[in-house]
Structure 1
Amino acid sequence: MKAVQFSRFGEPEVLETVERPTPQPRPGEVLVRVRAAGVNYFETLMRRNLYAVTPELPMVPGVEVAGEIEAVGEGVDPVLSGSRVAVPMFAIGRPNGGYAEYLAVEAASVVPVPEDLSFEDAVALLVPGLTALHLVRRSPPRGRTVLVTAAAGGVGSLLLQLAWRAGAERVIAVAGGAGKLDVARSLGADLGIDYREPGWAAQVRDATDGRGADIAYDTVGGVITKACLDALAPAGELLFGALGRFDLTAAELEGMLFRNQSLKGFALLPLLTPESLRADLAELFALAATGALRVIQGGRYRLDQAAEAHRALEDRGSTGKVVLIP
């Protein structure tokens, strides 16, 4: 089978398409023919050895796939053959292996995909969908003005819709460029603000009669976090979910205390259990399949175009979810 790996750290060019043996399902496992594999920003950090954990090389990236069960191992019901499934690898202790044509996993770890939901959309609802769903649960937006960063991205585009469904009074979208802001508005954002404009936090305050946003969902980090803090209302919540890019100083944190503001950390994996994972994905899949939740696709690339997919994410030139099509 074909797979994409990197044997050294560096720029996107280190990604190479190689031939690997097709895995065979062991007892209790199924063999999934991958039809779509998600590409995530943290995988670009792993490729550059800038992630929290240094991966063992060579490595085949990828933690979210969707496809069809092609074969079953001993002890698995043969009726599962041909089933459409998604595999949330990140949640089952499989931190790599998704950029490939086939994947062998435990049968209990796959999640059914409805017939009227594409494999690409199913993949977009794994890491991004679960992240957006749990961000809303961590800081419920009902009756509040919320700010969503990277609002046209894989997480942000879903988050602003879920915030509306959860009763947000107003959704302010922050993104880079007119095209991305148009996407955010088409998904229901009341106001779109370009983060590339100096002092954009003042636009948030102006739009809220000087008060600011009650909740800022920040999945970007760095200088964006500081601007989110400037845009935050007294007693507001800054929900931070950008691993490795937290730059607030002690003085800025102390200022939050005097304004009765709170900082909440967000990490997805500790919030997931086997039972909640299946239920949450079933909910997201059903919403998307019925059109109640719109999935934005940010680009479809062949396996041998994985380097281009990584560049699109690093250059922030994509909207929605970037996927590989083996």
Structure 2
Amino acid sequence: MKAVQISRFGGPEVLKLVELPTPVPGTGQLLVRIRASGINLADALTRQDRYAVTPPLPAILGAEAAGVVEAIGGNVHGFAIGQRVAVPLFAANSLGAYAEYVAIDAALAVPLPDVISFEQAAALQIQGLTALYLTRQASPKGKIVLINAAAGGVGSILVQLARRAGARKVIAGASSSDKLDFARSLGADAGVNYTRPDWTEELRRVTDGNGPDIIYESVGGDVTGASLTALAPLGQIVIYGALNIQSFQLGVGELLGLIFKNQSLTGFAFQPLLTPESLRSGLAELFDLVLRGELVATVDGKYPLAEASKAHTALEGRGTRGKLILTP
């Protein structure tokens, strides 16, 4: 089979198309022919050895995919050859989705409705579940919320889910007017460009001087610090995404602000919240919303395996909207 592999850490150029043996499904496993694989910022960080876990090399990246069951291992029930499935490798802390085939524990594979495309299924896994669980951990109901990186994979879904969950006002934060227009098309009421020096003043203006009640923050660095200062009294800032831990420092001034304004700073990672049951129910909910036309999973670009390095370059250039997909 063809797969994209790294044998050293570095830039997008370390992603190489190679020929490898096709996996054989073991007991309790399915062999899936991949039709679409999701690309995530975590993949780029792993490629650079900047992620929380360093994989042994050589490694095939990618933690989410969708495809068709090609073979079934022993002691597997409830699946058939040719069945369409979502392949959430991340649920087992596994990689290997940048390939034509992958083996996965049958207990983690999720049946895929015929009307959900493979590309949509890939887009709704890591980023869709992250957005869904964020709205559960910090409910936007009746609140003014700011969603930074609102045009990205998580942000574009979070804008829609926050609106659906009853947010009083949804404000998009992004780095360009085009991205803000995209977020508005998904349901954002207003937008602020956090690359501008006066962006927090604009944020106060669109929140009638109070600031947001909840800020979903994944940009890091100065944006995190400025978001914290713009937060409303009694407000909550929820930080998710690996980049934040590398570029944001919390000092005495910020702590005093939290104390005297009765604010809270919350960390979020969806991986520890996953169980086989919550994985299946969460994806089923997201698939159902797409089926009913209440959620759009935007795919901004599709790349063949041979152009994985080009896809990573586009992702890191931060000019994309929604999800990037690899198609074997």
Partner of residue 115, structure 1: 114
Shift of 1:79: 5.5
| Rounded Cα–Cα distance in structure 2 between residues aligned with 1:16 and 1:253 | 46
In structure 2, stretches of 5+ residues that fail to align are none
Shift of 1:289: 2.2
Match of 1:203, SS? helix
The residue type paired with residue 21 of structure 2 is: P
| Rounded Cα–Cα distance in structure 2 between residues aligned with 1:257 and 1:290 | 43
The residue type paired with residue 288 of structure 1 is: V
* 1:39-58 mapped onto 2 (5 Å cutoff): 39-58=39-58
CA deviation map 1:259-298 (0-9, x unaligned): 1110111011111111111011100011112211011112
Partner of residue 5, structure 1: 5
- TM value normalised by structure 2: 0.96
| Rounded Cα–Cα distance in structure 2 between residues aligned with 1:150 and 1:244 | 12
The residue type paired with residue 112 of structure 2 is: V
For the aligned residues, what is the CA RMSD?
1.2
Partner of residue 146, structure 2: 147
CA deviation map 1:14-47 (0-9, x unaligned): 1100000001112221110000001111111111
| Rounded Cα–Cα distance in structure 2 between residues aligned with 1:228 and 1:12 | 31
Partner of residue 127, structure 2: 128
| Rounded Cα–Cα distance in structure 1 between residues aligned with 2:74 and 2:276 | 22
Q: Is contact 1:62-1:97 (8 Å) kept?
A: yes
The residue type paired with residue 319 of structure 1 is: R
Shift of 1:78: 8.1
Q: How many residues in Structure 1 have an aligned counterpart in Structure 2?
A: 325
CA deviation map 1:122-163 (0-9, x unaligned): 111100000000110011011110000110110000001100
Shift of 1:52: 2.1
1:320 and 2:319 correspond = no
| Rounded Cα–Cα distance in structure 2 between residues aligned with 1:268 and 1:222 | 22
CA deviation map 1:60-98 (0-9, x unaligned): 00000100001112233486111110011111232x111
Partner of residue 63, structure 2: 63
The residue type paired with residue 298 of structure 2 is: I
Match of 1:116, SS? coil
Match of 1:80, SS? coil
The residue type paired with residue 173 of structure 1 is: A
The residue type paired with residue 254 of structure 1 is: L
Partner of residue 176, structure 2: 177
Partner of residue 248, structure 1: 249
* 1:176-215 mapped onto 2 (5 Å cutoff): 176-215=175-214
Q: Is contact 1:52-1:244 (8 Å) kept?
A: no
User: Which moves more between the two structures, 248-257 or 306-315?
Assistant: 248-257
Runs of 4+ displaced beyond 4 Å: none
* 1:28-43 mapped onto 2 (5 Å cutoff): 28-43=28-43
CA deviation map 1:192-212 (0-9, x unaligned): 111211121111111111100
1:15 and 2:25 correspond = no
- TM value normalised by structure 1: 0.97
The residue type paired with residue 9 of structure 2 is: F
Match of 2:244, SS? coil
| Rounded Cα–Cα distance in structure 2 between residues aligned with 1:244 and 1:302 | 27
In structure 1, stretches of 5+ residues that fail to align are none
